[in-house]
Structures are given as C-alpha cells and as structure tokens.
Amino acid sequence: MNRIALLLTLAVSAWITGCSTPEKPTLIMTETVDFGTTADGKVVKKVTLRNARGSVARLTSYGAMLIELHVPDRTGKLADVVLGFDSLPPYLAGHPFFGNTTGRYANRIAGAKFTVDGTTYTLTANNGVNHIHGGPNGLDKQVWETETLETAEGGAVRFHHRSPDGAEGYPGNLDLTVTYTLTHANELRIDYAATTDKPTVINLTNHSYFNLKGAGEGDVLGHELKLHAGRYTPGDDGLIPTGEILSVAGTPLDFRTPLPIGARWDMLPAKLKGYDHNFVLNDWAPGKLVPCAELYEPTTGRRMRVQTSEPGVQIYTAIHLKGVVGKAGKTYNPYGGVCLETQHFPDSPNKPHFPSTVLRPGTTFRSTTIYGFSAD
C-alpha cells in the first residue's frame, strides 16, 4: 500500500470511529454501604436504589425502613418526599415510625389481648391499655438481614427477619421478608411475605410520612387527596374500632372526589385535630391489587397513586409531630406529612366480622403495596 492510500485508510477508519455511537453508561441500580452501628454492635446497612428515570430510594436494614425517596416534579426537579433523618443515631434514639416496616401488628389491638383457637395471648401494652404497632420492641427496632437484587423491573432490596416465638407476647416463630423495588415505571413496590410455626396474627404496613412538596417544606393541608373508599371504621376515644362500618357520606372523611386535606378541617372533632382514621377500600378481595388513593400537590405537580392488596388504609396527618429536627436541619411540625398506611383494620383479632388477620402454619402471608409517581 502506497503512502497516500495508507493515509486515506487511516482517515476513513478515524471517521468511522468518531461517528459511532458511544455506549451508554450502565445504570447501577443498587448500592450498599454501612449506615452505622447499634448499641449492641450490629452493623446497619443503607441501600440505594436507582431507576432509569432518575428517581432514587434509600432504605436501611434498621426497621426495614424507607429513609429517602427522590422523585421529579413537573419540571424534572427531584425532591425527597418522605420525612426522616440524615443519619442513624436519631432513628436509634426513637422517632414517630418514619418510613419503617410496622408490626407484627400495625395499628391497635384493644386491651393488648387477642384469642386464637381458644388461647388468649397478652401483648405488651404501649398505648395506654392497648397495644400499637407491634409493641415497644417491634419490627421497627430490629436489624434485618439484607440482600440486593437487580430485576427486569428495577433494582430491589429484600430484608429478612425472624421474630421469635413470644416476642412482645405474639405466638410463633415468624419468618418475614419485605422486598422494596424501585421500578423503571417510577413505582416503589413493597412486597411482604411471612410464615409461622404456630397460629398467630399479622398486619404489616409501611409508615412513611409523605410530603410531595419535599420533606420539611411546610404542611400537607393543600395536598389534594382522593380515596377509593366509601366506608370507614369509626373508633372510640382510644381509636379502637367500635366494630361498625359506616358510610363516609356527609362526613369530613369523604374523599371519594379529590379534595385538599385541610378543606373540611372545621368539621373534625376539636380533640382529634386532624385525620387518624381507617378507611375501607371499595373493591377489595383477598389477593387482589386494588386502587387505594391518589395524592396530588398542585405547586409541584407531583402525583402519587397507591395500589394495595390490603382491605384498608389508615390516613394519618402527623397530628402529634412537633419540633422534630429532620433532614438538612429542617423542623417537622403537625401536618408536615401524611401517612397512607395500607393495612388490615385495627383490632381485627378482636372483631370476627373484620377480614381475618390469622396466619397458620403451612400457609404464607402475602401483601403488596405500590406507590406510583408522576407529575403534571
């Protein structure tokens, strides 16, 4: 090959190389780092999940807990929309169930007692004479085993914990897994599973406080809420269900059409000062994923749609939150977030006509909740 031909060949080769499309960087969907250590020396992990839309979820093995969830507004700007802390020590010091897996029985059990197959079990009373959210040493206080997964839907983390027979008074060794998946469809999917070696009761939920303006960016009273629920379970002064299931029509609990959370504030009992109510979902059937709720924040355009296989949802407007210093030094106050706790009804073990929460050996408890995000 003469010199001119060689130069032409090299030039063409360089041009082809320069015109080729560079490979896109591989999306790292999961990442695990140490988050700190508990007083008894257990290492706590922090897992980051990312999806193809740029959203980010961070979770920790302490309490199988969601600690950050960054989703875009209508301009594409990300904000963290769940309340919490920047580091592990405030979680260890005690907090109002920010984002954790709650149980063995989320919500309340009257008198801290229930009966299964003729045997009465006494639980730890940590809400006056009642039992709430699994007791003072419930699932939210445990360090769970951690396994990351990369699926076709998106990155995931699976937490596992064995709750021993007798924990907080509950019967049976309970093996639990909670799997969080941040999908490329911009959904945070939570799948629960559990088995037991003795008849027991179970009711699991995630207790995240959502603020679609961003954590610490004021109250949620202007968020528009729609619930796929035409009925609710009224409660006594201790928020223990009376056993009735009533229509929301004509009450401040009617969110069948979208309405700002604070729109009917003056209709609520003064002693309650907000929402802390269990709603009965319209189309529920065992194992069926049904629409639950929609939450919309007008100034950012962020929208969250909730689906669940649970029969109810507890709406809690952070009534008791006051002066809690959270992420970036911002202070969380009453109504600074709203919880949408998908669940079985409070005190179901003592209300035989409510959907059953009994789990027996040889069967598997399964539950799914999906929080989907968009902006308009």
d(CA 89, CA 76): 32
d(CA 233, CA 108): 13
Paired tokens of 241: 């269900």
Q: Which residue has the tokens 């007692």?
A: 113
CB 302 within 8 A of CB 375: yes
- Using DSSP, state whether 324 is helix, strand or coil: strand
CB 104 within 8 A of CB 168: yes
d(CA 314, CA 331): 24
The verdict on whether 341 is a catalytic residue reads: yes
- What residue spans of 27-146 are helical by DSSP H? 88-93
- Using DSSP, state whether 291 is helix, strand or coil: strand
Other beta carbons within 10 angstroms of residue 67's beta carbon come to 27
d(CA 310, CA 369): 8
d(CA 254, CA 246): 11
- Kindly name the residue from 223, 228, 341, 344 that is annotated as catalytic: 341
Give residue 201's identity as a one-letter amino acid code: V
Nearest to 348 by CA among 142, 41, 104: 104
- Kindly name the residue from 131, 207, 228, 277 that is annotated as catalytic: 207
Paired tokens of 78: 């990300």
Helix H or strand E segment including 176? strand 174-183
Paired tokens of 132: 């709430």
Q: Compute the half-sphere exposure of residue 29: CA atoms within 13 Å on the CB side of its CA.
A: 18
d(CA 350, CA 373): 36
The verdict on whether 207 is a catalytic residue reads: yes
Paired tokens of 208: 């995240």
| Cα angle: 56, vertex 60, 63; to 5 degrees | 130
Instruction: Point out the residues that are catalytic.
Output: 207, 341
